[in-house]
C-alpha cells in the first residue's frame, strides 16, 4: 500500500505510529458538514484546469479517499466516470472511448490509459508543431516502400 503525496505530506515529522494516526485522524477523521459539502462538490464537478494530469488524478483520488473515510465510499467506476468530465476537447476521443466501454474500469487502469493518451497527444503535437515538421513535410524522410533507394546496383 502506498500513500499519496498529499497524505504523506501530513505525516512529515511523525516519529511514531501513534503520532501518524493522531495526525491522520485530525486531518481526515472529523469532517464537519461544510467540509462534507465541499468534498461532494469537488466530486460532482471536477475540473482539470491548468493542473497536470498527474495532479488532477491525485486530487481525484484524494477526494475519493476522504469521502470513503466518512463512510461515503465511491466506486472506481463512479470515480472514473465523474473525473472524465473534467477534461477538455483534446481528450474528447479518449473520453468517448472510455465511456463506451461496457466493463467497469479501475481507477489505476484509467490512470495508466490516460497517461498514455497524454503522451500520444504530446507526440502528435510535436510531429505537427515541432521544428522537424517542415522537414517531414518536404520529404526529408521518405517512407520505406520495400524498394532499394540508391544509385544503382552494387
Tens digits of residue pLDDT in 27-36: 776 556 777 8
What is the tens place of the pLDDT at every residue in 79-137?
A: 898 888 887 788 889 899 998 988 888 999 999 999 998 888 888 874 444 444 443 33
pLDDT value for 54: 85
Which residue's entry shows cell 466516470?
A: 81
pLDDT digits (tens, 9 = 90+) for 50-82: 778 888 888 888 888 888 888 888 899 888 988
Q: Provide the whole-model pTM.
A: 0.56
Which of 68 and 153 is assigned the larger pLDDT?
Answer: 68
pLDDT one-digit tens code per residue, 1-20: 567 787 888 889 999 999 98
Helices 76-84 and 53-69, packing angle to 10 deg: 140
pLDDT value of position 1: 56
CA dihedral 50, 51, 57, 59 (to 10 degrees): -110
Amino acid at each position: 500500500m502506498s500513500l499519496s503525496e498529499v497524505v504523506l505530506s501530513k505525516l512529515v515529522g511523525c516519529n511514531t505510529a501513534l503520532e501518524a494516526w493522531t495526525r491522520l485522524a485530525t486531518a481526515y477523521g472529523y469532517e464537519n458538514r461544510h467540509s462534507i459539502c465541499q468534498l461532494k462538490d469537488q466530486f460532482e464537478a471536477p475540473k482539470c484546469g491548468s493542473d497536470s494530469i498527474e495532479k488532477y488524478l491525485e486530487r481525484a483520488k484524494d477526494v475519493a479517499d476522504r469521502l470513503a473515510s466518512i463512510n461515503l465510499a465511491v466506486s472506481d467506476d463512479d470515480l472514473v466516470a465523474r473525473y472524465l468530465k473534467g477534461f477538455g476537447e483534446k481528450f474528447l476521443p479518449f473520453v468517448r472511448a472510455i465511456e463506451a466501454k461496457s466493463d467497469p474500469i479501475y481507477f489505476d487502469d484509467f490512470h495508466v490509459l490516460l497517461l498514455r493518451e497524454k503522451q500520444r497527444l504530446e507526440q502528435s503535437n510535436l510531429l505537427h508543431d515541432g521544428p522537424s515538421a517542415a522537414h517531414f513535410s518536404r520529404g526529408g524522410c521518405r517512407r520505406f516502400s520495400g524498394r532499394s533507394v540508391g544509385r544503382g546496383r552494387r
